[in-house]
Amino acid sequence: MKKTLLLSLTALLFLACETGINNKRTIVKETAPSGIVDRVKGTNPSYGSTYQKSHQGSSTKIFSKSAQPGFYLQLAVFEKYRPNKSFLRPLDQSKFNYIVLNKYNKDYVLIGAYKSHDEAKRHIASVKSRLGKQTFVVQVLRP
């Protein structure tokens, strides 16, 4: 009797694992070709990746080994070409510190680094008034 019960429980466990009955953990696959792997507002079909909610507000996370970790304002993304001198000239003439981060054959132009999400958010209006471009907050992390 014990043998039959043990075999039936083992078979049930095996079938439950094979049929995809989920446990409480959520697995997030990193399929984002852009390096962006976490965004607050669901999925973004243009990146083709799965996103999950973050407690930091509406920030996007980019993992990079070379950039200083912190919060940045994303100004632009270049897919085919690197940003040219005419695009970078207003940034050079402004007081803003910026980096050009190359991630998965895309160049991200980021202004910052800021210590907190709120501090980066406070600078969005000044970037828009000085450069005439809309930005949003991203977080750069070490992988």
Enumerate the domain spans of the chain: 2-141
| pLDDT given for residue 122 in this prediction | 95
Partners of 136 in beta bridges:
74
d(CA 123, CA 143): 26
User: Higher model confidence: residue 26 or residue 86?
Assistant: 86
pLDDT tens-place string over residues 33-78:
444 443 333 333 333 333 333 344 556 899 998 899 999 999 999 9
How many C-beta atoms surround the C-beta of residue 116 within 10 A? 12
- The first and second tokens of residue 118, run together, are 């709120």
pLDDT at 20 over 60: no
pLDDT at 136 over 70: yes
| pLDDT given for residue 95 in this prediction | 85
Region label for 41, one of left (φ > 0), alpha (ψ between -120 and 50) or beta (otherwise): beta
Please identify, in words, the CATH class of the domain defined by 2-141: alpha beta
pLDDT tens-place string over residues 85-135:
999 999 999 989 999 999 888 999 999 999 999 999 999 999 999 999 999
Read off the amino acid at residue 97: N
Read off the amino acid at residue 79: E
d(CA 62, CA 37): 7
pLDDT at 19 over 70: no
d(CA 107, CA 101): 5
| pLDDT given for residue 139 in this prediction | 94
| pLDDT given for residue 104 in this prediction | 82
